[in-house]
Amino acid sequence: MIEFERKSLFRLTAPLFLLNLIIVGSTFVDQALLAGYSENLAAAVSMANQILSVAYDVIGLFSVGALILIAQYLGRNQIEKAKNIVVVAMASSCLLGLIIAGILVAGAGQFADWVNTPEEIRKDVIIYVYVIAVTIIFYGLIVSATAALRGFGFTVEILIMGIIANVVYLFFEYALIYGRFGFPELGVYGAALSNLIVRLASIGFLLWVLKRKLDISLIATPIGFFKKVKQITKISYPSVSQNMCYNLYQLTMVSFIAVLGTTEVNTRSWALSIGALSSTVAMVISQGNEVLVGYDKGSQDNETARKRANKTAITAGIVNSGFAFVIYLNADLLIGIFTKDAAITAAITSLLFYTIIFAFFATVNTVLLNSLKAVGDVNRPVLFNLGITFAIALPLGYIAVTQLDLGVKGLWYVYLIEEGLKALIMFTLWQSKKWHKYKVVEQEKPEA
């Protein structure tokens, strides 16, 4: 039998922290390569990725619930049940990916029109969506396998995969976009094909790790497949619905900005990319905390879970704001990677100032939201989050951009209000302790 070791927050998150730094750095290089080829290509990929973000959320349906179940089963030392969840999640994600790919191919043009894509980049947006649609099938397997490794604590292996994937991706992106090392110059096709190549390589690596570390194979027949799919879906759908709705909200926000031109689209995209540097710590700590809270809930230690999440949320929020402040101080250097335009530089710098405050609220919201999910309280936090997004943030975004002519800066004002309210609500829900009553795994004796 596979031996399970419950690791500390540091051991869980240190590899993930390094991986996220690599991902953020890779994103910088990625956008610099796109912008270096042409600003239209950079804007096209940004618009396409905003459309695809909804598909990415849906394909993650089974990974969200799988992680929660895996962590709680492992907290009860029910290792074989945790392994069975892995197989169910991966098989289900593959089938779901086929459906999503078909929808993307059929509706690419319509989706581009819905977000008011500027005519000069519309063709490239559609091409990019077509190619990435194929990779969605593999992406579903990747997110489910990665969630499984996180649940079992194999974050070093996730780091290794990330290093290999990002190196391969950037190599092929550069070679295929610009036509280097004997490859043809493919422009937007090269940007998309590099994604396809890296996801195929990632799947091969993950399947090998799952077999070697956990003796898990996709050809295995999962026990109680349909029952487990239903159980995972019941846990996952609120979170996935929230993410999908939030990305639809962001799509709508982008549509407000898109009519102002590609410069505004790039300003928003580059500001978010630079701001993502500060969220690295919050993201990985939240992911590690989610697993540990799941362990605590699985072993029915609610008080440890409560104290752990409280401490993590406040500490990570302060650290994240500190990182945001350092980024603001070095804004000119970071923005220079993407553009030398003085007006864009000034605009992004002002947005990064607001990110210092935004970072604290967003971190508290993220950590406590994921903690609530980890203990099985998946409906209440989602309903409150979506209520704030659509009843308050979306109308304010429309007013700020289209009525008050505040442009991209208007969106950041709205984000501040939105995340502040969400952080307050998540803190209130977590302290209420109503989540103590939730159970997502069967009350059985732990395996010997």
User: CA 205, CA 164: separation in Å to the nearest integer?
Assistant: 10
Residue range 7-35: mean pLDDT, rounded: 84
Residues 142 and 270 placed together within one structural domain of the fold: no
Confidence of residue 160 (pLDDT cuts 50, 70, 90): very high
- 297 belongs to a structural domain: yes
Residues 137 and 273 placed together within one structural domain of the fold: no
- DSSP SS3 for 224: coil
Residues 10 and 93 placed together within one structural domain of the fold: yes
Q: Does residue 228 have a pLDDT over 90?
A: no
Q: Kind and range of the H or E element at 295?
A: helix 262-298
Residues 271 and 225 placed together within one structural domain of the fold: no
- 47 belongs to a structural domain: yes
Q: Which domain holds residue 56?
A: 1-235
CA neighbor of 37 nearest in space, from 167, 215, 244, 176:
176
User: CA 335, CA 353: separation in Å to the nearest integer?
Assistant: 14
Residues 133 and 58 placed together within one structural domain of the fold: yes
* SS3 track for 310-336: HHHHHHHHHHHHHHHHHHHHCHHHHHC
- 359 belongs to a structural domain: yes
User: CA 345, CA 341: separation in Å to the nearest integer?
Assistant: 6
Higher pLDDT, 20 or 88: 88
Residue recorded with tokens 């991986």 = 19
Q: CB neighbours (10 Å) of residue 210?
A: 23
Residues 346 and 430 placed together within one structural domain of the fold: yes
Confidence of residue 441 (pLDDT cuts 50, 70, 90): low
Residues 182 and 269 placed together within one structural domain of the fold: no
- 277 belongs to a structural domain: yes
Cα 397-401-402 angle, rounded to 5 deg: 110
Residue recorded with tokens 């069967």 = 442
Q: Terminus-to-terminus CA distance in the chain, angstroms?
A: 10
- 246 belongs to a structural domain: no
Residues 216 and 271 placed together within one structural domain of the fold: no
Question: What is the percentage of the chain residues whose pLDDT exceeds 70?
Answer: 96
CA neighbor of 324 nearest in space, from 290, 361, 354, 369:
354
Higher pLDDT, 46 or 396: 396
How high is the pLDDT of residue 444?
47
Q: Give me the number of domains the chain comprises.
A: 2
Confidence of residue 321 (pLDDT cuts 50, 70, 90): very high
- 61 belongs to a structural domain: yes
Confidence of residue 447 (pLDDT cuts 50, 70, 90): very low
Is the separation of the CB atoms in 163 and 22 below 8 Å? Answer: yes
Residues 227 and 327 placed together within one structural domain of the fold: no
Is the separation of the CB atoms in 296 and 303 below 8 Å? Answer: no
Q: pLDDT of 83-132, one tens digit each? A: 889 989 988 988 899 999 999 999 999 988 887 888 888 999 999 999 99
Contacts (Cβ under 8 Å, ≥6 apart) of 421: 388, 392
- 129 belongs to a structural domain: yes
How high is the pLDDT of residue 177?
94
- 448 belongs to a structural domain: no
- Considering the chain, what is the average pLDDT of its residues? 86
Residues 145 and 273 placed together within one structural domain of the fold: no
User: CA 294, CA 301: separation in Å to the nearest integer?
Assistant: 10
Tokens of 446: 């732990």
User: CA 7, CA 184: separation in Å to the nearest integer?
Assistant: 47
Is the separation of the CB atoms in 292 and 75 below 8 Å? Answer: no
Residues 274 and 218 placed together within one structural domain of the fold: no
- Measured CA distances, 188 to 53, 198, 228, 358, 389 (Å): 18, 16, 40, 33, 33
Highest-scoring range by mean pLDDT, 15-29, 49-63, 149-163, 213-227: 149-163
